[in-house]
Amino acid sequence: MPIRTATPLAATDRQTSDSPPLSRRAGSSANGSDARFWDRMADGYFARPIKDLETYHAKLAATRELLTPDMDILEFGCGSGGTAIAHAPFVNSVHALDISNRMIEIGRNQAAEQGVDNVLFEQADFDAFEAAPASYDVILGLSILHLVADRDATIAKVQRLLKPGGVFVSSTGCLKDGMSFFKWIAPLGRKLGLLPMLQVFSERDLVQSLEGQGLDIIQQWKPDKSIAVFIIAKKP
């Protein structure tokens, strides 16, 4: 499955609607209710097979082309750690964050079972996470940017933490492109404890946020019938 290079913005603004908005990742939020939500979801999430393995493996492969053995990676919203563990053999280190303590526990157990010793799993909110500027070669934010309170602030922090020439790899549910009704459903669902924080925006909005924080988009791809867009953006 080929990954397209970046296309003009107008060409990416199309309607899609099949993937569920929560897909695969626990989010980053200052609100403890979201951590509790993902703690409840963690075991079922881990046990559930990946819906589209072909697309998942294509994203892994596209990311892996960027990796070298001396690189240090940060992943925020790592969920149960499968992607962090998958990339670990190809880099120096992976620092994997999630707000859910149970997700982190599952990730640590999986790494131990697979003999992976260069992934540091940490229960942390990305908003509060501290690291020196220009600390990481690659940052992963997979199925997460639609789950944060302030998308622009999150991307700005990613930009600060990347080394010059570093890349941000994201896969994001753009709910406004085909599932805009979540704009009304999400607040009620969160109030009832049925949904985490969920933001509704378009692929166009996401691209503008990335470019607005000084990141250059080098790959942009949306699988057929998906609301999730896969983007690789580079810090100059």
Indicate whether 36 belongs to any domain.
Answer: yes
Give residue-wise pLDDT tens across range 97-119: 999 999 999 999 999 999 999 99
| pLDDT at site 15 | 24
Indicate whether 31 belongs to any domain.
Answer: yes
Q: Which residue has the tokens 């493996």?
A: 57
Indicate whether 2 belongs to any domain.
Answer: no
Lowest mean pLDDT among 1-15, 122-136, 187-201, 222-236: 1-15
Lowest mean pLDDT among 40-54, 134-148, 156-170: 40-54
Indicate whether 175 belongs to any domain.
Answer: yes
| pLDDT at site 226 | 80
Average the pLDDT over 114-135 and give the result. 97
| pLDDT at site 190 | 62
> Tokens for 211?
């470019």
Domain that holds residue 111: 9-234
pLDDT above 90: residue 140: yes
CATH number, position 91: 3.40.50.150
Give residue-wise pLDDT tens across range 4-18: 333 322 222 222 223
Indicate whether 58 belongs to any domain.
Answer: yes
Look at the chain and report how many structural domains it folds into. Answer: 1
- HSE, side-chain direction, 13 A CA sphere, residue 80: 19
Indicate whether 1 belongs to any domain.
Answer: no
Indicate whether 3 belongs to any domain.
Answer: no
CA distance 17 to 36: 28
Single pTM value for the model: 0.83
Give residue-wise pLDDT tens across range 155-178: 999 999 999 999 999 999 988 887
Comparison of pLDDT for 118 and 51, the residue scoring more: 118
Sequence letter at residue 115: G
| pLDDT at site 186 | 61
Q: Where do the DSSP E strands lie in the chain?
A: 72-76, 93-98, 119-123, 136-142, 162-173, 216-221, 228-234
Percentage of the chain lying above the pLDDT 70 cut: 80
pLDDT above 50: residue 1: no
